[in-house]
Chains A and B, each alone.
Chain A
Amino acid sequence: MRRWAHRTHLAGLLLSAVLLACRQAERSPSHQGVVVTDDAGRRVGLAAPAQRVVSLLPSFTELLFAIGAGDRLVGRTAWCDYPPEALRVPSVGDGMPPNVEAVAARHPDLAVLYRSGPNVTAAEQLERLGIKTVLLDLNRLEELGPAARRLGVLTGRVASADSLARAMDSLAAAPPQPLTPGPQSLVFIVWDNPPIVIGAGSYLDRLASLAGARNVFHDIAAPSAQVSIETIAARDPDFVAVLSDSVVPPRYAGRPEWRVVRAVRAGRFLFLPGQLFGRPGPRVAEAVRELRHRLDATP
């Protein structure tokens, strides 16, 4: 009887000691607290690296998995379809604009949002519910590296995030590769009526130049612009690139007025899957290689 009492007494002392040590650890958060400045100029600080993250952009979902923080993901948008493991994470809606209640229902300690007008409002609402938010830009290649780094800090995966970021940065700094033989020209057609093409301000245009191809509308500074069929025909691109998961020619390809464009007439289409090409993400290098491969493959 007495020996048992001794043991419990000892266990109680040990338990208190452990608890005390933990509390002491919590009282000094500087060892484990993380802080970044986001693209809206806000200082985002967490007591500890985020354990439950909701991502509100497919590119962020990809980045989180790429830096090894995919297991922390507790919420994603309906559009987040890569990597396949992401599909096992519950969806919080299409994210445009974010469904604040659905996000809160996942009890996250961090929500990652793309910086846009409606998202700034959603972030404020989430903050009022006590959920930390970070707003990041992700329109261009140059913004991948900084986004990856900050996600790394916030999730405690600094090392892998840094190495990824360095790869992104070097790609962004790389000079455009020339293709042999001679540069290949293309036009990205996003919509046909009215015709909308991609210009220099877009990620797709950047991919093209990294792959050694020339976007015939590189002279338009905007990410996209309305042009006429005649302008496309006049610039005579070698290829028409479309974001499409299938290889069925777009429905305008059969129309006589579109067939004035040589590439449409000859059926020289580049079908680029949206998952890989449609958004900036960690698989940039893969996208560039894929594009270059397809350009080489078509005579």
Chain B
Amino acid sequence: MKYVLLAAVAVVTLAGAVLLGAAEVPLRDMVASPIVWQLRLPRAVLAFLVGGALGVSGVGLQALVRNPLADPFLLGLSGGAGLGAVVAIAFDLPGPWALPLAAFVGAVGAMALVYRLGLMGGAELDPRILLLGGVAVGAFAGAITTAIVSLAQATELRNAFLWLWGGFSGASWTTVLVMVVYAPLPLAVLAAAARPLDLLALGEEPAQYLGADVRRLKRLVYLAASLLTAAAVAVAGVIGFVGLVVPHVCRLVWGRLHRTLFPTAFLAGGILLVAADTLARTVVAPRELPVGIVTALLGVPVFAFLLRRWTVS
């Protein structure tokens, strides 16, 4: 019953995103309107896919580091993406895809670095090392970014930061296609890891004794969740709180089994981000807020509420 409700909310939210907008498009003209087909629809679909990716990635990472307060961007990915974006703009890299590609490469670079740190000294992706490594790599990338910004002459660097705060203004069918082609593999890997992740919640040793190949599991989950997040950043900048809050809400409603958590987190993340994007472009019309700010404003009170419940129980 709850699933039906979730699906219904998803449909309603998507419909709202397509119906609302700055341009007045009468209902009967919608089918043929380029505004709907080239702007609103790809934007809504992309926001849904990115929100879903972030939600699923959040579930995976929280299970991996066994910390329900983990967010996909804790592992240094946002710092890496920011560095990539700034490099693309400061050195004026050519091509319309320079910015997203550079951000993706930066995020993946950060992921690889944290991964390497997590394996040092036979640590085998110890959650504490992953978290600390993520903070360190993020800070390192941030320092290089600041250095480039202070030395470079491009005045458009301010705009690089605006992009980084997250937004779907660049949404197009091409970016949707990229997500649709790219996301299924990491999503499938995470879905297959659902049962072993239930076991991992007991601890690494108990999980092994219940049949989970913990070493392989951690590596696969880390890579899949990071790649999903890197793709999300590449097409939409850094959008925080979705990956943190959505897993919690889903756990509250549907319990902690990952077989249900992954699909519901995907839908809930999609709903949240589409709603946030719709708010971002209607609340201060004609201006637009960066989506990352809307999710933070929505997410912080929700997070505080969850924190209270969690510490009480």
A→B interface (CB under 8 Å): 94, 190-196, 217, 219-220, 225-231, 233-235, 251-252, 254-257, 259-260
| CB < 8 Å neighbour of B287 from A191, A227, A251 | A227
Question: Does B122 sit at the interface, judged by CB under 8 A?
Answer: no
Closest to A216 in B: B286
Interface of A, secondary structure class, is mixed
Q: Most chain-A Cβ atoms within 10 A of its Cβ — which of B21, B39, B40, B290? A: B39
Contacts of B40 in A (CB 8 A): 230
Contacts of B34 in A (CB 8 A): 260
Decide if B39 touches A234 in the complex (CB within 8 Å): no
Decide if B169 touches A228 in the complex (CB within 8 Å): yes
Contacts between chains A and B (CB distance < 8 A), count: 87
| CB < 8 Å neighbour of B38 from A193, A228, A260 | A260
In the complex, which residues 1-53 of chain B have their Cβ closer than 8 Å to any Cβ of chain A?
21-24, 34-35, 38-40, 42
Decide if A234 touches B24 in the complex (CB within 8 Å): yes
| CB < 8 Å neighbour of A230 from B39, B95, B153, B287 | B39
Contacts of A260 in B (CB 8 A): 34-35, 38-39
Closest to B33 in A: A260
Contacts of B289 in A (CB 8 A): 226
A235 to B21, CA, bound (A): 12
Closest to A226 in B: B288
Contacts of A234 in B (CB 8 A): 21-24, 35
Given A251-B95, A257-B172, 12 more A-B residue pairs with CB atoms under 8 Å apart are: A194-B163, A194-B288, A194-B290, A225-B286, A226-B287, A228-B169, A229-B39, A230-B22, A231-B22, A231-B288, A257-B170, A260-B38
Decide if B23 touches A230 in the complex (CB within 8 Å): yes
Decide if A230 touches B35 in the complex (CB within 8 Å): yes
Contacts of B163 in A (CB 8 A): 193-194
**Could you give 10 example pairs across A and B, Cβ below 8 Å?**
A193-B163, A194-B288, A226-B169, A226-B290, A230-B40, A230-B281, A231-B281, A231-B285, A233-B23, A256-B172
Question: Does B159 sit at the interface, judged by CB under 8 A?
Answer: yes
Closest to B34 in A: A260
Closest to A236 in B: B23
Closest to B166 in A: A194
Decide if A194 touches B287 in the complex (CB within 8 Å): no
Q: Most chain-A Cβ atoms within 10 A of its Cβ — which of B24, B172, B285, B286? A: B286
A13 to B283, CA, bound (A): 84
Q: Most chain-B Cβ atoms within 10 A of its Cβ — which of A191, A226, A229, A259? A: A226
A269 to B21, CA, bound (A): 25
Decide if A259 touches B38 in the complex (CB within 8 Å): yes
Q: How far is the CB of A60 from chain B (nearest CB, A)?
A: 18
Decide if A227 touches B286 in the complex (CB within 8 Å): yes
A251 to B89, CA, bound (A): 14
| CB < 8 Å neighbour of B169 from A94, A194, A235, A256 | A194
Q: Most chain-B Cβ atoms within 10 A of its Cβ — which of A230, A234, A235? A: A230
Contacts of B170 in A (CB 8 A): 192-194, 257
Question: Does B171 sit at the interface, judged by CB under 8 A?
Answer: yes
In the complex, which residues 177-193 of chain B have their Cβ closer than 8 Å to any Cβ of chain A?
none
Contacts of A192 in B (CB 8 A): 170
Contacts of A252 in B (CB 8 A): 96
A193 to B102, CA, bound (A): 14
Decide if A233 touches B35 in the complex (CB within 8 Å): yes
Q: How far is the CB of A23 from chain B (nearest CB, A)?
A: 49
A228 to B169, CA, bound (A): 6
Question: Does B156 sit at the interface, judged by CB under 8 A?
Answer: yes
Question: Does B173 sit at the interface, judged by CB under 8 A?
Answer: yes
Contacts of B96 in A (CB 8 A): 251-252, 254-255
